[in-house]
Structure 1
Amino acid sequence: MDAELKPVKIDDLRPIREIVFMELKKAIFDGRIKEGEHLVENMIAEKMNVSRTPVREALRQLEAEGLVINIPRRGAIVKGITMKDAEEIYDLREVLEGLMVRLACQNRTEEDISRLNQILVLMEKAVQEKKYNKYLELHKDYNDIILSSSKNKKLQLMMENIYEYLTSLRSVSLYSQDRRVLAIEEHRQIVNAIDKRNEVEAEKLARSHVKKAKKSFFDNLIEAND
């Protein structure tokens, strides 16, 4: 692995495993570490001037997010997704999610709206308690309800594929606590528009939400590399 990785800064107060994880993820996204490359613990530890333990933990997290696969007797290999891939995924998501909420406006039930509002309350609680994994679970439930409400099987298949990619991007786009709080408010506005069956407003809000998520994703990658 020839990628240039920055040593951990002494004044960076984040957990070392988090710093290593974000730096490796950034390197994968911007192409410094390419698909098919081996991620060798001791080499990464040496380049970043850390012990092997946080590197091992970071590699496990990358594997959990689908960016790395662990092959017996070969070790961790980059599965990868580039910055260009991420940009294209967000652009597709913006258009398709706009269509998704328009269709949800036409087909949603009172039960759908009730469940969505319940989820938003639970998401707020998860953010307040800083339970990030719980927040992501609820986020998936939120998307699943609206997607199901669209009643469009082809769209559902396409969005499920996009959301699978987004699993590895959300930890960056929703990296800051402030962004999570704002995202919930954006979700609430979208649910209100769906409740009123306002297709134009729902699509506008959904596309705006995706644009903000995309901006947050790239801003956080730049910040992680400063």
Structure 2
Amino acid sequence: MDQSLGQSRAITAGERAYQWTREAILSGRIPEGTFLEEKLVCDEAGVSRTPVREAFHRLAAEKFIDLLPRRGAQVRRVTAGELFETYEMRLLLELHGFRILCGKNIDIPAWLSEHLDRMEDPERVARVRAGDRDAIAEHAKMDFFFHFSFVKATGNSILIDLYTSLQPRHQRIAVSAVSLRPKRLEVIAPEHRTLLKALTDHDYDTAERTLRHHLRPDETVVSHLR
């Protein structure tokens, strides 16, 4: 199963600093609102300060952190407004992808059913419900790739690029939502299965209806993000 978004490449010092910080934010090891220390990232990623600063600028562009004058880099908090706007854009882009898939009878990736099996693995789900930060971060990543796979299957390069740009927000919001409301997994899992079947059958109406319900903000989560 190929879940990569681009070609493999040598990992640079800046990339190591970026990946370590990004995963630390997504997993919650560095909580929202925390000011990042360059030395911490240098030590953990095994790089000098210059690559760390490069990584910070990249993370700021992807809305993981804010660079504040004379104060440094601060991990951004997920807000209710950001959740609503991200869901709105996801709905727009994913539904366009669904129209392409169903209109052209494009085959859906065969590995997606196995991907959902892994997401629904009882041990993995138990870890998420128990608040395991690494398990929650991994679930968010797998959730993104499930939805992204439909967009990627369209072959529309601009649509793919636009959806890829949502990945940081998609995953951060998923981490926050599942952390605040782990019981949402009981709703998410069957909706994923319904989406997969509908798009495999090229049933646009069912796919649209399911996605609109799937991306309806959870009031419990929203109330904590305001």
TM-score if structure 2 supplies the norm length?
0.60
RMSD: 3.5
Q: Deviations over 1:11-68 (max 9, x none)?
A: xxxxxxx7x946x4xxxxxxxxxxxxx9599xxxxxxxxxxxxxxxxxxxxx899532
- Could you tell me which residue of structure 1 aligns to residue 183 of structure 2? 178
- Could you tell me which residue of structure 1 aligns to residue 165 of structure 2? 161
Asked if 1 retains the 8 angstrom alpha-carbon contact of 2:101 and 2:199, the reply is yes
Asked if 2 retains the 8 angstrom alpha-carbon contact of 1:194 and 1:202, the reply is yes
Asked if 2 retains the 8 angstrom alpha-carbon contact of 1:116 and 1:142, the reply is yes
User: Distance between the aligned counterparts of 1:95 and 1:224, measured in 2?
Assistant: 23
Asked if 2 retains the 8 angstrom alpha-carbon contact of 1:39 and 1:77, the reply is yes
- Could you tell me which residue of structure 2 aligns to residue 136 of structure 1? 140
One-letter amino acid of the counterpart of residue 202, structure 2? R
Asked if 2 retains the 8 angstrom alpha-carbon contact of 1:104 and 1:149, the reply is yes
User: How far has the Cα of 1:91 moved from its partner?
Assistant: 1.4
Q: 1:205 to 1:221 in 2, by over 3 A?
A: closer
User: Distance between the aligned counterparts of 2:105 and 2:154, measured in 1?
Assistant: 6
Give the unaligned 5+ runs of structure 1.
1-17, 25-37, 42-62
- Computing the radius of gyration over CA atoms, which structure comes out larger, 1 or 2? 1
User: Distance between the aligned counterparts of 2:202 and 2:170, measured in 1?
Assistant: 27
Asked if 2 retains the 8 angstrom alpha-carbon contact of 1:70 and 1:77, the reply is yes
Give the unaligned 5+ runs of structure 2.
1-27, 38-58, 129-134
User: Distance between the aligned counterparts of 1:133 and 1:164, measured in 2?
Assistant: 12
Partner SS for 1:77: strand
- Could you tell me which residue of structure 2 aligns to residue 197 of structure 1? 202
Asked if 2 retains the 8 angstrom alpha-carbon contact of 1:127 and 1:177, the reply is no
One-letter amino acid of the counterpart of residue 183, structure 1? I
